[in-house]
Copies of this chain bind each other. A is one copy, B any other.
Amino acid sequence: MAFTDQLLEDYEPLWQRMLGHRFLRETRDGEIAETTFARWMRQDYRFVEAACPMLAALISKAPLEHRPPLTDALSALYDELDLFRDRARAAGIEVEEAEPAFICHAYIQFLLATAHRRSYAEGFTVLYAAEKAYHEAWKVVADGVGPASTWQPFVENWAGDDFAAYVAFLEGTLDDIAAGASEAERERMAELFETTVRYEVAFWELAYTSTGWPGLEGSSGR
């Protein structure tokens, strides 16, 4: 069985919990509170910004033949940031000034620490997990969001054909990488897959929670 098939099978309950998060269901059904969606947008904008240096650090470790497609993926993140700003303007949301909430801050540190400290195979696993999760999550949303929705461009971006092809590239490439990895490294890759999906769940959860830090919820912040 291919490595990514095995991952998705081994972590099926966690994966389904992520795809079943109420954020996705409520966005699909047009029932999500504006403040909830806006909180997600502001935090995800910060997250995508931080994913850029993570991907660049991964490219710096990549073998020759992976560099051009990963560089295209990096350029696509810049377009994604444009999309965020465009949708934020359309919805009257300010995204460029938001402080990262605790969960967002933590996920960003995880991305960056992984990119710098882990092997290429391990860092690639985190990239795959996060992009695959987004693709599948927005396919859930796509079932209900119509062309008139302000959020249709997000659906097109992550559930559309281009992103599907990108995720398929990541999937096939990760299977190849895993085939050449030692058993010990494959175990570390699987652990990082699980951690990434846990962070994805936490990130959807963030949209419904205070953006304060643990033990400081009532404080004025910085």
Binding site for B on A (CB under 8 A): 13-14, 17, 21, 49, 52-54, 56-57, 59-62, 64, 67-68, 71-72, 74-75, 78, 102-103, 105-106, 108-110, 112-113, 115-117, 119, 180-182, 184-185, 191, 194-195, 198, 201-202, 204-206, 209, 213-216, 219, 222
Contacts and interface: CB of A to CB of B under 8 A. Distances in A.
Nearest to A74: B71
Copies per complex of this chain:
4
Contact of A112 (B62, B68, B113, B185): B113
A177 B32 CA distance: 44
Contacts of A60: 53-54, 56-57, 60, 115
A25 B190 CA distance: 41
A222 B205 contact: no
